[in-house]
Chains A and B, each alone.
Chain A
Amino acid sequence: MSAGVTTAVELKMDWEIQEDPQRTADFQARIDAKGLIEVDDWMPHNYRVGMLRMCEHHANSEIVGALPEGEWITRAPSLLRKLALIAKVQDEVGHGQMLYHVCQDLGKPRDQMLRDLCTGKTKYHNVFNYPAPTWADVAMIQWLVDGAAILNQKSLAEGSYGPYVRTMKRINMEEAFHFKSGEDMVLTLMSGTPRQKKMAQEAFDRWWAPCLMFFGPPDSDSTKTGPFMTWRIKTKTNDTLRQTYVDRFAPAAKALGLIIHVAHKDKDGMVAIKPDGNPDMVVDEQIQFDEESGHWGFTQPDWDEFFRVIKGNGPCNKQRVALRRFSHEQGHWVRQAVMGSAGLPPSAN
């Protein structure tokens, strides 16, 4: 065991790099033929870094994603819901473990990834910077956010990096239950009392826009889309995925009696209140099915808010990272003990 030898690995994109032209051509040919790249294969530096960055971001998101939901375990409204939520949170952390493994094999020690997340050097998915103040938020997260995640991950499962693709397939299998359980919770709330419906609508208003942002900035603002599509690190563009999402969820929400609003949020991520006491939101008139294009219209989310939240100024960024850091610090002695580096005898082999 090589405890303590882990060093910081600087893996950065380098667009000036000169790659071997023959190898690059063979590599691209394998990708174009829908072949998979494996861990020991030669790969261009930027492919390795791009894949690692995306996978690390994904792994971080699974870990941080468990935080807003985990705090509801003790407050779940029934034993069935509690069991399902525990299983879901456990799944998410397990997904993080699997994805960190894919990253480790690409060249970054796990230890370093966990530390970088605690010190804010790496990011996680923006959507987890929003609060989950009611049980209906848990329902909406499982329906809307996991729904978005499945859509995204299905496209990633058609990518070119074998270990990531296989992990994606396995994750999607588990996400399917999260989504169904979320759908069940939303259906229960929307079949309930006026108070339950109101709670569901308010949670929906908090989560709709973050879910539209889930797929990333518009293609015109996304710098990585080009090379990532060529290498099949991504297989669908942000805008394509967003449209597919709206086509599925806008009519479903409508059928359930949920109204899609364009809402303004305050710094806590709650729908802002106007001076007259009413919530600052209007019905999104763009939500219409367009016969000609075959797609549903929608109002673009507030992209200024998106970039503000990404930079660390969202409603819950600081809370989430602080909690992760707290847990990592609390676990220090445990890791030391299992690694045999705390003056304690190391484990069996």
Chain B
Amino acid sequence: MGLSKIRQIEAHDDSELSFPPEGDAKPYEVFIQLNRGQPHVHSGTVDAVDGKMALSYAKKHFGRDQECVHMWVVPREAMISTNYDGEIIWPLTDQGYRLVRGYAIDVRRKWERFRDQEELDRYQDDDIKEMF
């Protein structure tokens, strides 16, 4: 049995390689946009020596198996992030005053003094729902 010759003639050798390690390239984070107008979403990482090479790898890697209209690559060293342990981003105090739902019940109760139930239900159907 045997297909191409190269698979047979290369001798097996467990010794150390004769050349030193070349070192690793830099990691670049890849963000892809599936449709115009949508946000870019983190999709993975590629290793490259420069932005051009990173973009070319990213296109092959993350742009082939789905429709994709736009792509960013960012050197990881340029990204500054929070950390899960020490930092709280979303404050734990009540933030109701900045949310629709923080007002919904009060506003409804206050309206009831001015309008009847049916009219109010109809009004609420058209009202803004859960948004910022």
A residues near B, CB below 8 A? 1-6, 38, 40-42, 71-72, 75, 94, 97-98, 101, 104, 109-112, 115, 118-120, 131, 133, 167, 170, 173-174, 268, 270, 318-319, 321-323, 325-326, 328-329, 332, 335-336, 338-341, 346-349
B residues near A, CB below 8 A? 1, 3-4, 6-8, 10-27, 44-47, 49-53, 60-61, 65, 81, 83-85
Q: List B contacts of A329 (CB < 8 A).
A: 17-19
Pick the 10 closest A-B CB pairs, nearest first: A3-B23, A318-B12, A322-B10, A335-B22, A133-B1, A322-B12, A111-B21, A6-B21, A347-B50, A120-B14
What's the nearest-Cβ distance from chain A to residue B89, in Å?
15
Residue from the list A3, A5, A98, A332 in contact with B44, Cβ < 8 A: A98
In the complex the two chains form, is A104's CB within 8 Å of B11's CB? no
In the complex the two chains form, is A349's CB within 8 Å of B22's CB? no
**Complex: how many Å from CA A245 to CA B75?**
42
Other A-B contacts than A322-B13, A338-B53, A339-B25, 7 sampled, CB-CB below 8 A, are A101-B44, A104-B27, A119-B15, A173-B65, A325-B13, A326-B10, A339-B23
**Complex: how many Å from CA A110 to CA B49?**
14
What's the nearest-Cβ distance from chain A to residue B10, in Å?
4
**Complex: how many Å from CA A21 to CA B6?**
54
In the complex the two chains form, is A340's CB within 8 Å of B17's CB? no
With A94-B61, A170-B44 already in contact, the answer to whether A326 and B6 are too (CB < 8 A) is yes
Residue from the list B16, B19, B23, B85 in contact with A42, Cβ < 8 A: B85
**Complex: how many Å from CA A319 to CA B45?**
31
**Complex: how many Å from CA A164 to CA B120?**
51
Q: Which of B11, B14, B20, B24 has the most CB of A within 10 A?
A: B24
Residue from the list B14, B17, B46 in contact with A97, Cβ < 8 A: B46
In the complex the two chains form, is A319's CB within 8 Å of B7's CB? yes
Residue from the list B3, B16, B20 in contact with A75, Cβ < 8 A: B3
**Complex: how many Å from CA A318 to CA B45?**
32
